């Protein structure tokens, strides 16, 4: 997993509420699709018309937003069914951070396992960011400083759980963070084998 320290990039506004995971990655694409190619189907119901051509009205198909690395979304983003593929699809199209008033809980947790930073901000702040997110306009997200600087604006503070922040800064998922304490785990097991040998069958 890549480290997340500072990100400067275009932010695409997608302000609909309750965008569910089936919009982000349709369930039919979860079978037989490699993680590395899942980005091709991100937002497929909105990104393409029925005949398979791009929908010019969808923001990520528009000039100035095609290379967006930040998504600004409405409330309850990525609600619905649990699917890690929703995070993989966003990562596949280059999205590294999502800013919204609220998220689907499972999606929110999954983001940290794939190096994507979900940021919760007050609705009025999100609305202001969306208004500033013109084509090609760059935002800077500084995870070390816990601040977002919008175009022509002042830095806005945000919060991330310290453990999650440390993991992203180090480029580690939950397993990686656990393995950092491998020596402590081994020492505990050695002592526990002495105290409770019946737990460890030969």
Cβ(64)–Cβ(82) below 8 Å: no
Instruction: Tell me the range of 18-27, 31-40, 78-87 where mean pLDDT is highest.
Output: 18-27
The pLDDT of residue 32 is: 81
Nearest to 83 by CA among 45, 118, 111, 47: 111
Beta partners for residue 71, in sequence order: 12, 98
Q: Whose structure tokens read 């320290």?
A: 5
Residue 195 confidence (pLDDT) above 90: no
- Predicted pLDDT at 188: 87
pLDDT, position 187: 82
Residue 135: per-residue pLDDT: 95
Q: Assign domain 6-170 to its CATH architecture.
A: Alpha-Beta Barrel (3.20)
The helix/strand/coil state of 131 is helix
Q: 138-159, pLDDT tens digit by residue? A: 999 999 999 999 999 999 999 9
- Report domain extents, the chain: 6-170, 172-202
Tell me the pLDDT band of 24, cut-offs 50, 70 and 90.
very high
Output the pTM of the full model.
0.89
Is 87 strand, coil or helix? Answer: helix
Distance, in Å, from the CA atom of 59 to the CA atom of 55, rounded to the nearest integer, reads 9
Model pLDDT, residue 96: 98
pLDDT for 36-46, tens place per residue? Answer: 899 999 999 99
């Amino acid at each position: 997993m890549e480290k997340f320290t500072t990100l400067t990039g275009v932010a695409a506004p997608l302000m609909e509420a309750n965008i569910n995971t089936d919009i982000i990655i349709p369930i039919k694409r979860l079978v037989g699709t490699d993680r590395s190619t899942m980005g091709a189907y991100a937002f497929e119901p909105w990104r393409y018309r029925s005949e398979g051509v791009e929908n010019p009205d969808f923001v990520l198909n528009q000039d100035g937003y095609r290379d967006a690395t930040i998504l600004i979304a409405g409330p309850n983003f990525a609600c619905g069914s649990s699917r890690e593929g929703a995070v993989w699809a966003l990562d596949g199209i280059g999205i590294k951070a999502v800013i919204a008033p609220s998220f689907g809980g499972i999606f929110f947790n999954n983001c940290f396992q794939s190096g994507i930073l979900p940021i919760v901000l007050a609705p009025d702040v999100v609305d202001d960011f969306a208004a500033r997110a013109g084509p090609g306009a760059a935002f800077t997200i500084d995870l070390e400083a816990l601040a977002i600087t919008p175009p022509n604006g002042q830095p806005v503070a945000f919060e991330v759980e310290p453990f999650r922040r440390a993991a992203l800064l180090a480029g580690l998922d939950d397993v990686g963070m656990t393995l950092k304490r491998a020596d402590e785990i081994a020492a505990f097991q050695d002592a526990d084998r002495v105290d409770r040998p019946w737990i460890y069958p030969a």
